[in-house]
Structure 1
Amino acid sequence: MEEDTGKSIPFKYPASDFLLTVGGMLLFLLDVALDVWAVVTFYHEEAYVFMGLLVFLLLGSSALVQVFSWLWYHYDKDSTETKTESLVKNLHLLKILHVFQMGVYLRYAGLVRISICGFCCRKRYMEGIAVYLTHDLSLLRLIETFSESAPQLVLMITIIIQRGMVEPITILKALGSVSAIAVSVTMYHRSLRSFLPDKAKQGWSSSVVYFMWNLLLIGPRVAAVALFASVFPCFIAAHFLSSWMVLFFVAWQLKTDFMDSGGGEWLYRATVGLIWYFSWFSIVEGHTRQRSTIYHTWIGVDIGMLCGFWVWQMMKNPPYFELPLDPYVIFVIMILLYIAGLCLKVIYYKFCHPKITKLGEVDLRLELVGVSQNGKDEVDFRFMGQTERPEPPVRFNKRMRNLADNFYS
């Protein structure tokens, strides 16, 4: 267990993180292309119901991500993020770009530009800028993961089961997809670690453990929802809506304070309910052991019920194709995998999670990250001239800072 040393927080943006960002942008574009290909495939197969569901998921998720992106730009309107975004602001096209679902691409463009400038000019303060921009992208990717990737995987597994295409290759594809979801959650976790004073002591081993327990918890959840949807397609919407309303109510009762506007805060709470449908997400400070225990108990019982209804239906009306395993065996495997995930989560919090009651304040002079002396956040991204002058301060991302406080407190 690591103790908080009280050291300042070093915001560094190494070349490896830049390569991961570029890779993430390329994967984002590839994902868009694959989504279009899937829609076209359903159209040619005349599977209009599945096509409609997929289009609904894609458009709904994209709209949600763009709304968050726009709200964060609006909250930060008094500061200039990058020269790329400043140009758009001067032309009053930022809102239009988000309407046409281009806000995330703008963020990627700004991050790539400032990263290249930082590497060329060798200015440390630009590393803080790049980290700041990466944090918002990390949050947007997390929202996209649970509003698009996870529901889309449920839909695809449901189609595979209903069509009797349960083969080793399709199972491997599903495992690859749920692994990609766990990777997205793990990358979000690594973004949170940038606020740790002693994060250098946390190697990749902690991220591996974090990835594994998320994989083992999210995988059975997605599979259970898909199994239930394959035999009771008319009831899965009722299950989701009833669960989401309960989770949304809990998020409201916890009195979250993440966004800078009332409407934005309600949207955030609704999004938290969506994320909680698939995975745990810390949203308030304080010890979360009791809340997490209640959540995982409820989700575990729900997984058991969903799989139980599926087994009952399989025994009552056997499928026209042969399942690779007996339904009862699949039921037991789902429960055991979820329990294994809980055990790994306990191991993570016992041996890998830093013991920090409150993240320390950032040393502005040493880390080049902070606020102006009048108390307001400022960002200056003008290139340094030939003459020597102090490097401009770069604010830390208060949204990710709040989430880091929630996660590590």
Structure 2
Amino acid sequence: MKEEMLFLYPPFDFLLNILGFVFFLIDVVLDICTVVDFYQKQEFVSMGVLIFLLLGSSTLLQVFSWLWYSYSTEQERSNLSQAIYLEKYFKNRRVLKALHVCQVGVFLRFIGVMEISLRNLASHSALREGIAVYLTHDLSLLRLIETFTESVPQLALMIAVIAIKGNLEWMTGLKTLGSFVTIAFSVVTYHRSMRNFTQRKSQLTWPSSVVYFLWNLFLIAPRVAVVGLVGSTLPEVMAAHFIGLWIALFVWAWLQKTDFMEDKVWEWLYRATVALIWYFSWFNVSKGRSKGRSVLYHSIMAVDMALLLVLWWWWEGSQDAQIFGVPVMVGFASVAALYCSGILGKLLYYRLCHPRKLSDDEDEEKAPACYVYDEVDLPMPPVQTHLLVVLPKPLPLTAAQKRMQKMAGHFFS
């Protein structure tokens, strides 16, 4: 029998989190500057859509962050109080809730990750290492949700603005670049956070993270471009399309019987959020082999984008129509080629880089086991004596461990 996995928090991942935090702050500044720029130019529709995306995404993140804090057990709170100085906020539910109402709960998570990571680098501790891993995991998942509820829709909005104006202004260009960087970091950090849940860490190296980002980019970019292009010409149709497809995707998430949240009522919010993510990108949320679901999803998205492009071309009613300065047929071919490249990249990634099993003698669908020994919140190796292997009796999984276990099970299925 092999040893259980030990959670390790590499210093380079800490540096990645710092860089991600810096870009997060830059993106906030760019959001404010873009809103001001729209206001000064009296582009109130674009300004209203952007404000709606910012407030809606921020509120959604704060709700998830607060719920995950409220799910924490007394043992988790005790571990936090031993590991970081911010325990007064984690212990005081009223203060913590007020911070989330004020839209700064995610900032608190960033600060907590930075603090425990720095303390762990100065003095390595198994306790701090384990807590740093699951705090980073929660943060990376929140950033992923933020990406597909704010940054990706913003990118579609910026593309629509560029298509309407016919030229690229400096502020629109900066905001487009900022959204792109946010997408890149959220995808890569999520991939890196999953690395802690497999013994085959050699297969989840930085090159594999780059490949993971590239195929996601090649699949997301044409989807965003099509949504932005059609939205620039047929905004009402695009709004109706989004609502209709989101409802269908929400029903699909419900049919997959997701069980990520502790409370069944809030599970519906999670399913609604999954449907938002699915509108732009695939995200596995249920147990079992995901190949069939992934093939079905990408087929539907390919047909959907083709229909949207045909609708846009028919509405333009001209053979001389152009997409961002290039002939329409060249634009259509570029979207198709990019999407096919993303599919090919995804196949190569899962063929060469992605570990299908968490260990050699575990089933593919089984999530990694996380045990709690006293107040140490991470897996422990077995104690081997001659030919006998004795495993300590594990305590029940904490809320944070359940989240990590479920997400890892979905990621590696």
Equivalents in 2 of 1:55, 1:317: separation in Å?
Answer: 36
2:131–2:377 CA contact under 8 A, matched in 1: no
| Partner of residue 336, structure 2 | 335
SS in 1 for 2:287: coil
Equivalent position to 1:105, from 104, 107, 113: 107
1:361 paired with 2:369, answer yes
Equivalents in 1 of 2:299, 2:195: separation in Å?
Answer: 27
The residue identity in structure 2 corresponding to 1:44 is Q
Cα 1:122/1:98, change in 2 over 3 Å: same
Equivalent position to 2:232, from 230, 242, 248: 230
| Partner of residue 200, structure 2 | 198
The number of aligned residues is 387
Equivalents in 1 of 2:341, 2:88: separation in Å?
Answer: 50
TM-score, structure 2 length as denominator? 0.86
Equivalents in 2 of 1:298, 1:172: separation in Å?
Answer: 32
1:227–1:306 CA contact under 8 A, matched in 2: no
| Partner of residue 399, structure 1 | 403
1:51 paired with 2:47, answer yes
Equivalents in 2 of 1:67, 1:91: separation in Å?
Answer: 14
Worse-superposed segment, 166-175 or 209-218: 166-175
1:68 paired with 2:64, answer yes
1:10 paired with 2:6, answer yes
Q: 1:268-307, aligned counterparts within 5 Å? A: 268-307=270-309
The residue identity in structure 2 corresponding to 1:184 is S
The residue identity in structure 2 corresponding to 1:348 is Y
| Partner of residue 412, structure 2 | 408
How far has the Cα of 1:121 moved from its partner? Answer: 2.3
How far has the Cα of 1:400 moved from its partner? Answer: 2.5
The residue identity in structure 2 corresponding to 1:133 is L
2:13–2:192 CA contact under 8 A, matched in 1: no
| Partner of residue 383, structure 1 | none
Worse-superposed segment, 171-180 or 69-78: 171-180
How far has the Cα of 1:194 moved from its partner? Answer: 1.0
| Partner of residue 375, structure 1 | 395
2:8–2:129 CA contact under 8 A, matched in 1: yes
2:203–2:353 CA contact under 8 A, matched in 1: no
How far has the Cα of 1:95 moved from its partner? Answer: 0.6
Cα 1:33/1:288, change in 2 over 3 Å: same
Task: Provide the identity percentage.
Answer: 47
How far has the Cα of 1:86 moved from its partner? Answer: 2.4
Cα 1:84/1:246, change in 2 over 3 Å: farther
Note the alpha carbon deviations across 1:355-378, whole angstroms, 9 max, x for none: 21124434767x961599683457
2:144–2:190 CA contact under 8 A, matched in 1: yes
Cα 1:183/1:300, change in 2 over 3 Å: farther
C-alpha RMSD of the superposition: 2.7
Equivalent position to 1:316, from 300, 315, 318: 318
TM-score, structure 1 length as denominator? 0.87
Cα 1:322/1:157, change in 2 over 3 Å: closer
| Partner of residue 257, structure 1 | 259
Cα 1:45/1:199, change in 2 over 3 Å: same
1:166–1:323 CA contact under 8 A, matched in 2: no
| Partner of residue 163, structure 2 | 161
Cα 1:191/1:55, change in 2 over 3 Å: same
Note the alpha carbon deviations across 1:43-83, whole angstroms, 9 max, x for none: 11111111111100000000000000000001015231354
Cα 1:6/1:354, change in 2 over 3 Å: farther
2:147–2:182 CA contact under 8 A, matched in 1: no
The residue identity in structure 1 corresponding to 2:339 is Y
Equivalents in 1 of 2:213, 2:377: separation in Å?
Answer: 31
Equivalents in 2 of 1:315, 1:331: separation in Å?
Answer: 16
1:57–1:151 CA contact under 8 A, matched in 2: yes
How far has the Cα of 1:408 moved from its partner? Answer: 0.9
| Partner of residue 25, structure 2 | 29
How far has the Cα of 1:353 moved from its partner? Answer: 1.7
2:203–2:355 CA contact under 8 A, matched in 1: no
Q: Which runs of 5+ in 2 are unaligned?
A: 358-363, 381-391
How far has the Cα of 1:167 moved from its partner? Answer: 8.9
Worse-superposed segment, 42-51 or 396-405: 396-405
How far has the Cα of 1:351 moved from its partner? Answer: 1.6
Equivalents in 1 of 2:397, 2:162: separation in Å?
Answer: 50
How far has the Cα of 1:318 moved from its partner? Answer: 6.5
Equivalents in 2 of 1:171, 1:116: separation in Å?
Answer: 35
1:12–1:127 CA contact under 8 A, matched in 2: yes
2:157–2:228 CA contact under 8 A, matched in 1: yes
Equivalents in 1 of 2:307, 2:71: separation in Å?
Answer: 43
2:249–2:278 CA contact under 8 A, matched in 1: yes
Equivalents in 2 of 1:370, 1:113: separation in Å?
Answer: 22
Note the alpha carbon deviations across 1:193-250, whole angstroms, 9 max, x for none: 2100221343222212211110110000000111111110111110100000000000
Equivalents in 1 of 2:207, 2:11: separation in Å?
Answer: 21
Equivalent position to 1:248, from 247, 250, 254: 250
Equivalents in 2 of 1:355, 1:273: separation in Å?
Answer: 25
| Partner of residue 345, structure 1 | 346
Equivalents in 1 of 2:289, 2:323: separation in Å?
Answer: 47
